[in-house]
Amino acid sequence: MENSMNGDSLEKLKGLQITSLDDDDEEQERETMPEESDDDDGYDDDDDDDEEEEHEPVTLGFLEKPKNRWSLLRHLFPSKAGGPPAWLDPVNLPSGRSCLCDICGEQLQFLIQVYAPISEKDSTFHRTLFVFMCPSMKCLLRDQHEQWKRLPESSSRSVKVFSCQLPRSNPFYSREPPKCNGTDKPSGPGVALCNWCGTWKGYKVCSSCRKAHYCSQKHQAMHWQTGHKLECQQLSLTGQSSDTNPSNGGTSATETQKVASKSLWPEYEMINEDESEYDTEMSEDNGHANALISKPGKDDTMNSMFSNFEGDDDRKSWASFQERIGKAPEQVLRYCRSASAKSLWPMSSGRPSKDDIPKCSYCGSPRCFEFQILPQLLYYFGVKNDVDSLDWATIVIYTCEASCEAGVSYKEEFVWVQQSSTIVNVP
């Protein structure tokens, strides 16, 4: 989202609210996130899917470098990609196997987060969705087979999504909207994060300086080998670390934590725009539809996908996908959580059926489509177009239709990854 000064900040926060299923016509003048959807994401009828989504207001996500060092701090409720996450609940983070790739056992890497509150419920006054994935393409290929298992608890995933929601009155943030001018502060610090990845809770502490925290022994060893061995002596002498609050060991309330790892994806701020704003441009310049595959440097994989598709259905889906994406080829995310919202599939193959989307494991409610991540994100992350490089056709996120109040701060939702047919068939 685009942070603005004083008077505009409240409007920006309001602009991200999701309307109720019973209130179709409210807040249409703003960039309003659409209404909750049902479980009937389109699977069998490509024509109906495309036709229905044309009438749904879709919010597009674009990336740009943050204008200010404070614009991505958690108390400004950002939508962002890359770097470390800006946790909504900064204390009760996911833990245990939730943080790991179920296939290789390594810590998952932060991919993207979307701030999407639901104004009609007090419990979802603040609400953010967090997506993590293993950077290994080998694990993602294995994930393709695992996601088809009907019992989520029996599947091993390399991509995971968590939802977190807070009421307006909570221990971490003021009831008043942020001013977005650099003076905002949260109500208190969060838990100490790993000094190496800046992502997960740093439950391990350096036995020498007692200041550096780590989420795993491997991250501690990597930090020691790349500079902490010398830094440790300095921290022991000064008695405090610049990355943590010395009074409680938590992350600083007003500064971004310095992360030692150089392998995190580049950090960007996400800006939201209504897809309908691009309809006029599209009618004025029909050639713009081909910008996705013709613009130099933009995701070379897209240029060769069409020729690799097998069968008329895949080609038809790709043509429809290209036409929609071509309106705004630099979009990395499509958001539409409304009653009849449907994802935009690049291919007809590799799509889930209704039964493949499990119900909420906390309350039993159906899960609905909420947003999808496009492969253009890989371009911004600088991922090379090599055979073994990370790649996907689209990543689709399904969340609890009821946005239930579970007993955990971070609920694991469901994610479906669609790969191109040529990639999926790789042994």
Give DSSP secondary structure letters for 371-415.
EEE-THHHHHTT----TTS---SEEEEEEETT----SSSSEE-EE
pLDDT tens for 118-158 read 988 999 999 999 999 999 999 999 998 899 887 777 789 99
pLDDT of residue 246: 39
Structure confidence at residue 385 (pLDDT): 84
pLDDT, residue 134, reads 97
Residue ranges of the chain with per-residue pLDDT less than 70:
1-55, 235-236, 238-256, 280-311, 421-427
Rounded Cα distance, 404 and 24, in Å: 21
The rounded distance, in Å, linking the Cα atoms of 166 and 143 is 31
Instruction: Tell me which residue has tokens 């009421």.
Output: 167
CA distance 164 to 129: 6
Task: Determine the pLDDT at residue 104.
Answer: 97
- Would you state the pLDDT for residue 273? 96
* Interatomic CA distance for residues 127 and 115, integer angstroms: 6
d(CA 261, CA 169): 35
DSSP annotation of 118: B
Closest CA to 376 of 316, 324, 333, 340: 333
With beta carbons less than 8 A apart as the criterion, state whether 343 and 40 touch: no
